Structure 1
Amino acid sequence: MAKDSGIGASIKRREDVRFLTGAGNYTDDINIAGQAYVYFLRSTVAHGKLNAVKTEAAAAMPGVVRIFTGADFAEVGGIPCGWQITSRNGEVMKEPRHPVLAHGKVRHVGDPIAAVVANSLAEARDAAEAIEVDIEDLPAVVDMKAAIGGDAPAVHEEAPDNICYDWGFVEENREAVDEAIKGAHHVTTLELVNNRLIANPMEPRVAIGDFNRASGESTLYTTSQNPHVIRLLMGAFVLGIPEHKLRVIAPDVGGGFGTKIFHYAEEALCTFAAKALNRPVKWTADRSEAFISDAHGRDHVTKIELALDAEGKFLAIRTNTLANMGAYLSTFAPSVPTWLHGTLMAGTYTTPLIYCNVKAVFTNTVPVDAYRGAGRPEATFQLERVVDKAAREMGIDPVELRRRNFIPADAYPYQTPVAVAYDTGDYHATMDKLVEIADLKGFEARKAESAARGKLRGLGIASYIEACGIAPSNLVGQLGARAGLFESATVRVNAAGGIVVMTGSHSHGQGHETTFPQVIAEMFGMPEDMVEIVHGDTARTPMGMGTYGSRSIAVGGSAMVRAAEKIIAKAKRIASHLMEAAVEDVEFKNGEFTVAGTDKKIDFASVALAAYVPHNYPLESIEPGLEETAFYDPSNFTYPAGAYACEVEVDPETGVVDILAFTAADDFGNIINPMVVSGQVHGGIGQGVGQALLEGAVYDSNGQLVSGSYMDYAMPRADDLPSFTVDHSCQTPCTHNPLGVKGCGEAGAIGTPPTVVNAVLDALNSGGINVPHIDMPLSPARVWSAIEAAK
């Protein structure tokens, strides 16, 4: 029987009431009396020497308060990078300065040159048009292979070859991998592109700076997934503001997908300007501006080789990847193609030898950083595409080939050859569930029906694993992280028994205000509406690392549990005194404290009141109050996994692809709210379909973003997607966090792209059209061209 409360119940999202009734409080909804408005003048060329920025005429225009240029920020720090990678030769990565406003050079279309502050946005925009900018055009480099070819212009003088780092992993495996590939019975080779994506969350970025002259405190309101990290990076490394004098508030955030993790120049500018002008300053991006100012995602070019024996057992994998960093290093950019990618190249398989080489490349394009999945989709796409190609080349059913190489269910904990150790999993179980619920046995009949209508029907399969809850801090510190990756929570019990949880995690669509109370309500035996969640304000929450990498419940939820356990332990001491019993005899269950072997009991609300009215317990041994804080640093990643199937129809005359069915069988460990989990998977699948079939950021040779609006960048629409079949009944709980949870937010975006591409290629190849690979997005033009080329 389905639960109606607590852990495991499909409770409706409480935050949706305000979102659906227009009562949300987003950053752009905030307006401060006397605020001015910012308009950024951005570079229209991809690469150039910035000879002069003349602002005199613009500064004299109506309503202009002040114009800032790069010269105003010459004495402050650049936008910092939060992760340092060391090349395989021991050299530290090249880390050129990323100025708040361009100074000396512009390096991509959209690079901010000047910021006009005026009494109205219209006046700021008009004045920006009057700024005279003298830019000496320089040759731009967009293509990564060309960028490292020897004669390419240098994006940064500090990296004359345009290589940020040359990373090898696992370096000691390299020779053994080479030998295994040379001696293998069969080697499948595939060159592929992981297409550049533009995140496009529903809410564009906004920043509002405010300064209190009386207290000397700066406040930044911003659309951020991790306000404490922004406070740390901007305060300590850019503007030099002590943390106790800097408050960062991220109210309701309308989607992030990774793009709102990072510290951006606009946040620093607005905070700096508010203090300089002693006046609130507000900037809101428009959609076209977001295309050239928000960090992009993916953009890898890879050659992968898979060595197999005569029975189809995997022997070795070798990959060589070029990863685009864009013009500057964004906050977590260096970690994405390395530690978030190379460590997942084992996938769900027992491949004994793996070697990955990644060269990170500077180009005259928008910086690239984490986008939903961040490194794991790139690894999964490479792996699941080459496995599918190997199955076709060796004449082995793609499901069977995967089964032959799955890590056995009794092998855990399983040490992979790429550093990470999986604690639990059962990939045969998720594949079995997929075969059942996707009705793979009935596929041939459905294929025949499609053929009768002149369509090619294909079936795509993929198996994925991801690493969530990036941790532990001591490990990621060794890998180059410049911040801890713990999470925090403060649990405060009020005198009347209600609970407030202040969490360092942040919600931008995940449903924390619903799921977090389910955990607390279960622990304390109370209704969920007695629990309030506070997040997104550095002045009201303990220092935390925010939300990304599907870490909210696994890391943030675990911190919350640890703080609640401290509360319960203290409450037991109070209850034992009130009931005149030994504390070791007191039990707590369903909201009541009882004494074992007696009928003595007292409810939690009474104990809470006694904590704040301490007339009747010994102050020398128990402090008044009932409030505790916990910082949780995981001992390992969590490892969600699953198996996906997709059925498509391809029109051989036009190349149009229709997705007819999509099935996902996921293992997320223990589930807090099944409805919320299903919604997260639905969203991830939608974004994965977008990458596979529709989306792709395209630059011309001069560095102009030709897909710079929704007229040219194809986002998935409702009629591009079928109804999904989603199952998460295969549960192998995580062994190292108190909830046994693994995370679910990125799974759909990781497993979907190879599943869809495999389905399209199956349709073509099983229909007699020999097409080994098509790079994403598989637009009708690309599919049709591949069909024609194969004739």
Structure 2
Amino acid sequence: MPKDTGIGASSKRREDVRFLTGKGRYTDDINVAGQAHVVFLRSDMAHGRINSIDTADAAAMPGVIRVFTGADFEGVGTIPCGWQVTDRHGEPMQEPPHPILAQGKVRHVGDPYAAVVAETAAQARDAAEAIVADIEELTPVIDMKAALADGAPKVHDDLKNNLCYDWGFVEENKAAVDEAFQNAAHVTTLELVNNRLVANPMEPRVAVGDYAAHDDSSTLYTTSQNPHVIRLLMGAFVLGIPEHKLRVVAPDVGGGFGTKIFHYAEEAFCTFAAKAIQRPVKWTSTRGEAFMSDAHGRDHVSKIELALDADHNFTALRTETYANMGAYLSTFAPSIPTWLHGTLMAGNYKTPLVYVNVKAVFTNTVPVDAYRGAGRPEATFQLERVVDKAARELGVDPVELRRKNFITEFPYQTPVAVEYDTGDYNATMDKLLELIDRDGFEARRKESEARGKLRGLGLNCYIEACGIAPSQLVGQLGARAGLYESATVRVNATGGLVVMTGSHSHGQGHETSFAQVVSDMIGIPEDQVEIVHGDTANTPMGMGTYGSRSLAVGGSAIVKATDKIIAKAKKIAAHLMEASPDDVELKDGAFTVAGTDKSVAWGDVTLAAYVPHNYPLEDIEPGLEETAFYDPNNFTYPSGAYACEVEVDPETGKVDVISFAAADDFGNVVNPMIVEGQVHGGVAQGIGQALLENCAYDENGQLLSASYMDYAMPRAHDVPMIKVDHSCQTPCTHNPLGVKGCGEAGAIGSPPSVVNAVIDALQSAGHDVTHIDMPLTPPRVWAAMNGANATGGGGTAHGRSVGAGDTATH
């Protein structure tokens, strides 16, 4: 029977009451008395040398308080990168400065080079238009391979070239991998593009800086997934503000998807300017600004090769990827195509040899960083597309080829450093086949053909590494911060309690699921547990929320702190019942002495903790409050199998997703309803990437998809009803809850499912098409079916491939 409360119950999200009734408190709702407003003047060219900026007319306009340029930030720190990658030759990556306002050059469309602070946003906008800038246009580099050519214009003049790093992993495997390919009975090769995406959370970014002269302290209100990290980066490395003098508050945040992890120039500017003008300064991004200032996602060009023996066993995997960094290094950008991508190239398979090469490239485009899944979707897409293509080349069932190569014994040490602790890939595949009625597919295909449509079925598997850890390991890999999490549990005298967590919620339902965990441990109603997050003044130092780490890392810290609370409460209860603490048990909100009828209620014990008239002070301190930090000793490894059925209109190339099923292994599940919602959201984003979304630049570096008129977001009719199952559970062995991450799975497993389904539909009608690059727009699919001239994205010896270079896509 389903549980009604605690771990395993589908408790309704308590935070939805305020969100659905308009009572949420977002950063733009915060208005500080006396605040001014800032508008940034952003470059309209991709690459240019700043000769001069004349701000005199702007400064004289009504309401203008001050105009800032890059010159005002001489001597101020630049936006730091939080991860350093060492390349395959042992050299550290090239790491250029990222000024708050451009200095010397502008490096992408949207790069801010001046800012106007005025009484109103309208006055600031008017004044910004009066700034006269002499910017000499330079030749931009947009294409990654062209950016690495000899003599290519340099994005940063003080760097050797546009190569950030040339990373090889595992470098000592390279010779053995090459030999395996020479000896292979069959090799499948695929070239593909993982298209650039714009995150587009519902709430655009906002920053409000405030300065208090009486104690020389600063406060930043911001739309952030990790306020403590912003405080650390901005305070220590940019503005030189001691942490005890800097408060960062991230209130309700309307979605993040990775793009709100990073420290942005606008946050530092508002904090700096507030002190400079001795008034609060507020900035609210427009949607147009978001397209050219928020970090983008993905943007990889890859070649992947799979070697198989005569019995169809995978013997080696080899990849080469060009990863776009954009014009500057965003906070976690270097780690995405390396340690969050290369370490997942084994996938669900026991391939003994893997070699991954990644060339990270600077271009005159918006910086690229983590987007939902962050490296794992890129790895899964490559791997699951090449496995599907291999099955077609060999004429074998794609499910059976996968099963033959599944890892079946755990723990399993992969050839790419990580060790999977648990999993059952056959079980999730079995569940998926049950969900989709594969045996009935041919009948459904014939029914579609009768209506003039081509029907295809695509399947794939995925594995994810999330809850990134441990700090000691990631430090060796280049992380410049720890990746632990923290919690403080404060019990009130009347028995209710407050949990202060370093995690941050921006749609994940923390206020509900974290309360379920504590409620279950103590045996008190969930409404007696309050969750506090998002304010560095009220919560212990934590790393925030991203990478599906909330329960696995943040929840584990809460468990550890609650364990400390229970241990102390048992001592108090033992004293009250004149028993040994070792004999005291806590269940359903009451303490009992084993084997007796002695009992004392939770509330009586908590009251005694704060009214210590009746226990020995030399043994027990008054009060009931504990803090814990949790640093996991491994990733968690959720996995699953996904399937998609599509119909393709052969007249237009339009693809409709008819059905979708997801069978996931998330370990133990705290709130099934929240998990199902997370999968739904991820799948919708994956379908968006596969069929609709594409962030495109022209050869001059102009952003062609800079609004919703040109950037196609998925709508309700693009997403079918989704069958979600998470009954296949292999609990994580190294966190106290046995949980794995669930927030990114849908976005990892869905893109290859959709593409595999479209290829299946086309091949069923006799079209010799082996690959089409995302997004599979109607013109691109039509071109593939009709033999239109196609360039880019991966022509192979085994059929035609249609890619991002097609004129048919424009």
Aligned to 1:536: 534
Q: 2:562 aligns with which of 561, 564, 574?
A: 564
Aligned to 2:281: 281
Deviations 1:22-50 (CA, angstroms, capped at 9, x unpaired)? 00000000111110000000000000101
Question: Is 1:84 the counterpart of 2:84 in the alignment?
Answer: yes
1:635 is displaced (CA, Å) by: 0.5
Aligned to 1:397: 397
Aligned to 2:162: 162
Aligned to 1:476: 474
1:671 is displaced (CA, Å) by: 0.3
Aligned to 2:385: 385
1:176 is displaced (CA, Å) by: 0.3
1:151 is displaced (CA, Å) by: 2.5
Trace 1:168-179 onto structure 2 (pairs within 5 A).
168-179=168-179
Residue 708 of structure 2 aligns to a residue in which SS? coil
Aligned to 2:685: 687
1:74 is displaced (CA, Å) by: 1.1
Aligned to 2:237: 237
Residue 3 of structure 1 aligns to a residue in which SS? coil
1:201 is displaced (CA, Å) by: 0.1
1:150 is displaced (CA, Å) by: 1.3
1:161 is displaced (CA, Å) by: 2.4
Deviations 1:700-753 (CA, angstroms, capped at 9, x unpaired)? 000000100000000000001110000000000000000000010000000000
Q: 1:466 aligns with which of 459, 464, 467?
A: 464
Q: 1:704 aligns with which of 702, 705, 726?
A: 702
AA partner of residue 130 (structure 2): A
Aligned to 1:114: 114
Rounded Cα–Cα distance in structure 1 between residues aligned with 2:663 and 2:235: 44
Residue 14 of structure 2 aligns to a residue in which SS? coil
Aligned to 1:618: 616
Rounded Cα–Cα distance in structure 2 between residues aligned with 1:308 and 1:149: 34
Deviations 1:167-220 (CA, angstroms, capped at 9, x unpaired)? 000000000000001110000000000000000000000000001111211000
Rounded Cα–Cα distance in structure 2 between residues aligned with 1:633 and 1:103: 40
Deviations 1:369-395 (CA, angstroms, capped at 9, x unpaired)? 000000000000000000000000000
AA partner of residue 150 (structure 2): G
Question: Is 1:516 the counterpart of 2:514 in the alignment?
Answer: yes
Deviations 1:613-670 (CA, angstroms, capped at 9, x unpaired)? 0001111111000000000000000000000000000011110001000000000000
Question: Is 1:6 the counterpart of 2:10 in the alignment?
Answer: no
TM-score by length of 2: 0.97
Trace 1:146-225 onto structure 2 (pairs within 5 A).
146-225=146-225
Rounded Cα–Cα distance in structure 1 between residues aligned with 2:595 and 2:728: 39
Aligned to 2:806: none
Rounded Cα–Cα distance in structure 2 between residues aligned with 1:733 and 1:434: 19
AA partner of residue 597 (structure 1): G
Aligned to 1:371: 371
Deviations 1:359-412 (CA, angstroms, capped at 9, x unpaired)? 00000000000000000000000000000000000001111110000001xx11
Unaligned runs of at least 5 residues, structure 1: none
Aligned to 2:25: 25
Residue 2 of structure 2 aligns to a residue in which SS? coil
Trace 1:264-413 onto structure 2 (pairs within 5 A).
264-408=264-408, 411-413=409-411
Q: 2:674 aligns with which of 673, 676, 692?
A: 676
Aligned to 2:523: 525
Rounded Cα–Cα distance in structure 1 between residues aligned with 2:62 and 2:597: 79
Trace 1:591-610 onto structure 2 (pairs within 5 A).
591-610=589-608
Rounded Cα–Cα distance in structure 2 between residues aligned with 1:458 and 1:264: 43
Residue 646 of structure 1 aligns to a residue in which SS? strand
Rounded Cα–Cα distance in structure 1 between residues aligned with 2:602 and 2:367: 52
Aligned to 1:66: 66
Trace 1:723-762 onto structure 2 (pairs within 5 A).
723-762=721-760
Aligned to 2:804: none
Question: Is 1:507 the counterpart of 2:505 in the alignment?
Answer: yes
1:311 is displaced (CA, Å) by: 1.7
Residue 40 of structure 2 aligns to a residue in which SS? strand
Deviations 1:259-318 (CA, angstroms, capped at 9, x unpaired)? 000000000000000111110100000000000000000000000000011221100000
1:94 and 1:158 in contact (8 A); partners too? no
Question: Is 1:16 the counterpart of 2:30 in the alignment?
Answer: no
1:591 is displaced (CA, Å) by: 1.0
Deviations 1:96-130 (CA, angstroms, capped at 9, x unpaired)? 00000000000000000011000000000000000
Residue 680 of structure 1 aligns to a residue in which SS? helix
Residue 772 of structure 1 aligns to a residue in which SS? strand
Q: 2:587 aligns with which of 581, 589, 604?
A: 589
AA partner of residue 74 (structure 2): A
1:608 is displaced (CA, Å) by: 0.2
Rounded Cα–Cα distance in structure 1 between residues aligned with 2:120 and 2:37: 6
AA partner of residue 225 (structure 1): Q
Rounded Cα–Cα distance in structure 2 between residues aligned with 1:150 and 1:429: 51
AA partner of residue 682 (structure 1): H
Aligned to 2:779: 781
Question: Is 1:550 the counterpart of 2:545 in the alignment?
Answer: no
Deviations 1:506-557 (CA, angstroms, capped at 9, x unpaired)? 0000000110000000001011000000000000000000000000000000
How many pairs were matched up?
789
Residue 446 of structure 1 aligns to a residue in which SS? helix
Aligned to 1:40: 40
AA partner of residue 159 (structure 2): A
Rounded Cα–Cα distance in structure 2 between residues aligned with 1:358 and 1:165: 8
Rounded Cα–Cα distance in structure 1 between residues aligned with 2:383 and 2:158: 34
AA partner of residue 554 (structure 1): A
Residue 781 of structure 1 aligns to a residue in which SS? helix
Trace 1:651-662 onto structure 2 (pairs within 5 A).
651-662=649-660
TM-score by length of 1: 0.99
1:596 is displaced (CA, Å) by: 1.3
Q: What root-mean-square deviation, in Å, do the aligned CA atoms of Structure 1 and Structure 2 show?
A: 0.7
Unaligned runs of at least 5 residues, structure 2: 789-799, 801-810
Question: Is 1:713 the counterpart of 2:711 in the alignment?
Answer: yes
- Comparing 558-567 with 448-457, which one deviates more in the overlay? 448-457
Deviations 1:214-266 (CA, angstroms, capped at 9, x unpaired)? 12110000000000000000000000000000000000000000000000000
Trace 1:441-460 onto structure 2 (pairs within 5 A).
441-460=439-458
Rounded Cα–Cα distance in structure 2 between residues aligned with 1:74 and 1:775: 44
Rounded Cα–Cα distance in structure 2 between residues aligned with 1:606 and 1:525: 14
Rounded Cα–Cα distance in structure 2 between residues aligned with 1:678 and 1:150: 50
Aligned to 1:764: 762
Deviations 1:538-588 (CA, angstroms, capped at 9, x unpaired)? 000000000000000000000000000000000011111111111111111
1:158 is displaced (CA, Å) by: 3.2
Rounded Cα–Cα distance in structure 2 between residues aligned with 1:714 and 1:356: 32
1:160 is displaced (CA, Å) by: 3.3
Rounded Cα–Cα distance in structure 2 between residues aligned with 1:158 and 1:420: 36
1:487 and 1:632 in contact (8 A); partners too? yes
Rounded Cα–Cα distance in structure 1 between residues aligned with 2:767 and 2:595: 76
Residue 779 of structure 2 aligns to a residue in which SS? helix
Rounded Cα–Cα distance in structure 2 between residues aligned with 1:125 and 1:430: 55
AA partner of residue 13 (structure 1): R
Rounded Cα–Cα distance in structure 2 between residues aligned with 1:15 and 1:31: 22
Aligned to 2:793: none
Aligned to 2:137: 137
Rounded Cα–Cα distance in structure 2 between residues aligned with 1:318 and 1:526: 53
Rounded Cα–Cα distance in structure 1 between residues aligned with 2:594 and 2:456: 63
Deviations 1:343-370 (CA, angstroms, capped at 9, x unpaired)? 0000000000000000000000000000
1:159 is displaced (CA, Å) by: 2.8
- Comparing 687-696 with 160-169, which one deviates more in the overlay? 160-169
Rounded Cα–Cα distance in structure 2 between residues aligned with 1:104 and 1:161: 18
